[in-house]
Amino acid sequence: MIEEEFLAHQRMYHYPFEVIEGAEQMLRRLQSKIEKQDFPFDGFLTRQLEQLQAEGYLDRQS
């Protein structure tokens, strides 16, 4: 889905090799962080949001 959109834009806008390589590198880094559950994918932000909601700082419907 997102990859297809990137490929379409890559062709449309003639991205240079450096942009394509950089995007692919960042995707791999992001996937690795998710897999390892590194921050911010370790649940920290979810816990903080839940705490703020419990304390009434956030609308629970957000």
Q: For the segment 29-52, what is each residue's pLDDT rounded down to a tens digit?
A: 999 999 999 998 999 999 999 999
Say if 60 falls within a structural domain.
no
Structurally, the chain folds into a number of domains equal to 1
List the domain range (segments joined by +) for residue 28. Answer: 2-54
For residue 60, what are its two tokens? 């629970």
Say if 62 falls within a structural domain.
no
Say if 61 falls within a structural domain.
no
Q: Find out whether 16 and 25 touch, Cβ atoms under 8 Å.
A: no
pLDDT for 59 equals 79
Cα–Cα distance, 45 to 8 (Å, whole number): 33
Say if 49 falls within a structural domain.
yes
> Average pLDDT of the chain?
92
How does 18-28 read in b/e, with b if 16+ C-beta sit within 10 Å? eeeeeeeeeee
Flag whether pLDDT at 4 surpasses 70. yes
Give residue 2's pLDDT band: very low, low, confident or very high (50, 70, 90): confident
pLDDT for 61 equals 60
